[in-house]
Structure 1
Amino acid sequence: TEPRTGVLSSVSSPGFWVERTPVHEAAQRGESRQLQQLIENGACVNQVTVDSITPLHAASLQGQAQCVQLLLAAGARVDARNIDGSTPLCDACASGSIQCVKLLLSYGAKVNPPLYTASPLHEACMSGSSECVRLLIEVGANLEAHDCHFGTPLHVACAREHLDCVKVLLNAGANVNAAKLHETALHHAAKVKNVDLIEMLIEFGGNIYARDNRGKKPSDYTWSSSAPAKCFEYYEKTPLSLSQLCRVSLRKAAGVRGLEKIAKLNIPPRLIDYLSYN
């Protein structure tokens, strides 16, 4: 994997701009002993290369947990910014490394950095790491973080067909009908022709009649007589049951914070399982 572009904001002196250093190379390759020696010999852990990468970015993107630990302990800037705005946490999520994500969070990495691009949660959904997605949500990741290119994390997870991530997001209360240029997650599901994904979104209240900026419904992106087309046709002819409509309505009324407390309600376990889609 090619490194991302890197930080501009973490340094101010032009003297810091260098070619890739031995620290960068050791961090990216996971050579923890060499990295430790370099640090002990006084190497700077916050140098920014001409391609705008800090060693912490490099280690995080490759999922090198030992090197991430060494760099953080040596004073690496945990929220250093790339030229495109990404932080090491974004890169750790892109690698799908739960160890790196936990380390960065333990050193105070912002789970919702003020970005104009993909958030850490977007990156975790892109990589398909449901474990990272779950952890980010637990520490307060914004489920509706919006990227002008990708839309919400749910859009990303659906476009990449990461069903486990989609289920985690929906269970946590992500807006199933959030729109990007009026395009919903169901539009993405229809385009990738994934019936399981289509059914999951509809069961969580996805609007099969939502129209995008071209005036098209999700079903308009399916081929006649195909499995996805038949799925949409079934739901058009067979509305959701009353119990299902009640479940969707109750979850919507509870809101994201309320959903976290469903398991603690003094109601029959079967109702808790039903409301939680277990």
Structure 2
Amino acid sequence: MEIEHMQPYFFGDIGCWVERTEVHKAASLGQASQLQHLIQSGASVNLVAVDSITPLHEACLRGQAQCVQLLLDAGAQVDARNVDGSTPLCDACSAGSLECVKILLEHGAKANPALTSRTASPLHEACVGGNSDCVELLIAMGACLEAYDLYYGTPLHVACVNEHTNCVKVLLNAGAKVNAARLHETPLHHAAKNMRVDMIEVLVEFGANIHARDHHDKKPVDYTTPGSPSAACLKFYETTPMSLQQLSRLAVRNKLGTRALKVIGQLDVPKLIIGYLCYQ
């Protein structure tokens, strides 16, 4: 195998560490023919470069689906960890490559790898980039909606911080806890800070507590600019009681939790009611 520096400079439990190999380069650049040639010539697909980056990490970071398939077929470790603890699935979600995510999951990638103090889950990574298709697929594969990142909180927090309303809708409809808190800070606090009226409305419709106070003893409205649309929206919700219809929907959804969409779809009630309960 052709390697820039043939002598490894460290040998540990996870294998031989080398400088970036030709396999890494081909995987990163999407050079499928070159990668296939290297593999057929006996090149290892599991050598790790600096920061424990494998060729599979490189391919996933850049959404090179064909190379991802070749590497996995050649025996690449699907849940290999880099120095930050991220798996290739985390990288594929970060890149927003639905095709890579599908391939990895088909090859047994863990939707819920163990988290460390430096690691975000694949679902967190998908929410950072607003990749709602990846979010939907991960949830369908059992991704934990309440996976907790020390810096950001839950995936719902991350989606709100990064202003991705589509991801917020997907998470909430799947049963994510709308009032999950990190240092008493809820997703609604983040939506208010970002002055996102659309996101505020979605969160409140799913039962967000407009009176929740964070570690600074501030409510969401306290983070808005007086007289702004977001401030007016929150003030309206503070002074206007929810309708019985809305309260009933929240009661049903809270009772069913993450089973809501599946169970509601099986109810023998008019489609209009089903659509309402499913926020359609």
Question: What range is the shorter-chain TM-score in?
Answer: over 0.9
Residue in 1 that maps onto 2:6: none
Instruction: Name the structure 2 match of 1:5.
Output: none
1:158 to 157, 160, 168: 160
Q: Is the 8 A contact 1:118 1:150 kept in 2?
A: no
Corresponding residue of 1:190 = 192
1:31 aligns with 2:17: no
Q: Deviations over 1:164-207 (max 9, x none)?
A: 11110010010000001110000000111100001110011000
2:124 corresponds, among 122, 125, 130, to: 122
Shift of 1:260: 2.3
Secondary structure, counterpart of 2:265 in structure 1:
helix
* Secondary structure at 2:51 match in 1: coil
- The structure-2 alpha-carbon separation of the partners of 1:47 and 1:164, relative to structure 1 and needing over 3 Å to count, comes to same
One-letter amino acid of the structure 1 residue matched with residue 181 of structure 2? A
Deviation at 1:15, TM superposition (A): 6.6
- Alignment partners' CA distance in 1, 2:198 and 2:277: 20
Q: Which runs of 5+ in 1 are unaligned?
A: 1-10
Q: Structure 2 CA distance, aligned partners of 1:176 and 1:259?
A: 16
Higher relative contact order (CA 8 A, sep 6+): 1
Aligned partners of 1:261, 1:55: CA distance in 2, in Å?
Answer: 42
Question: Given the superposition, is the C-alpha separation of residues 119 and 15 from structure 1 closer, same or farther in structure 2, using an over 3 Å criterion?
Answer: closer
Q: Matched residues in 1 for 2:163 and 2:129: separation?
A: 11
Tell me by how many angstroms 1:51 deviates. 2.6
Aligned CA distance change for structure 1 residues 54 and 247 (closer, same or farther; 3 Å)? same
Contact residue 178 and residue 207 of structure 2 kept, 8 A = yes
Q: How does 1:39-78 map to 2 (within 5 A)?
A: 39-78=39-78
Give secondary structure in 2 for the equivalent of 1:133.
helix
For residue 123 of structure 1, give the secondary structure of its aligned residue in structure 2: helix
Q: Does 1:108 align with 2:108?
A: yes
Matched AA of 2:32: S
Number of matched pairs:
268
Judging changes above 3 Å, is the alpha-carbon distance between structure 1 residues 249 and 146 closer, same or farther for their aligned structure 2 residues? same
| Maintained 8 Å contact 1:172/1:260 | no
RMSD over equivalenced CA pairs, Å: 1.2
> What is the CA-CA distance between 1:150 and the residue it aligns to?
1.2
Q: Are the structure 2 counterparts of residues 216 and 14 from structure 1 closer, same or farther at C-alpha, using a change threshold of 3 Å?
A: closer
Q: How far apart, CA to CA, are the structure 1 residues paired with 2:223 and 2:62?
A: 37
- Deviation digits for residues 113-142 of structure 1 (CA, Å, limit 9, x no counterpart): 111221000011111111100000011010
2:217 maps to 215
Aligned partners of 2:268, 2:14: CA distance in 1, in Å?
A: 61
Which amino acid is the alignment partner of residue 25 of structure 1?
Answer: K
Other-structure match for 1:270: 272
Residue ranges of structure 2 left out of the alignment (5+ in a row): 1-10
Query: Partners of 1:261 and 1:59 in 2: how far apart?
Result: 39
- Paired letter, 2:68: V
What's 2:231 paired with? 229
Measure, in 2, the Cα distance between the counterparts of 1:258 and 1:204. 13
C-alpha change, 1:222 and 1:37, in structure 2 (3 Å) is same
Shift of 1:259: 3.3
Where does structure 1 differ by over 4 angstroms across 4 or more consecutive aligned residues?
none
Aligned-partner residue type, residue 52 of structure 2: S
Name the aligned partner's letter for residue 267 of structure 2: L
Residue 14 of structure 1, CA deviation: 8.1
Alignment of 1:130-209 (within 5 A): 130-209=132-211
Secondary structure at the aligned position of 1:51 is classed as helix
Q: Which residue of 2 aligns with 1:91?
A: 91
CA deviation map 1:85-106 (0-9, x unaligned): 1100000000000100000000
Q: Within 2, Cα distance between the matches of 1:20 and 1:167? A: 41
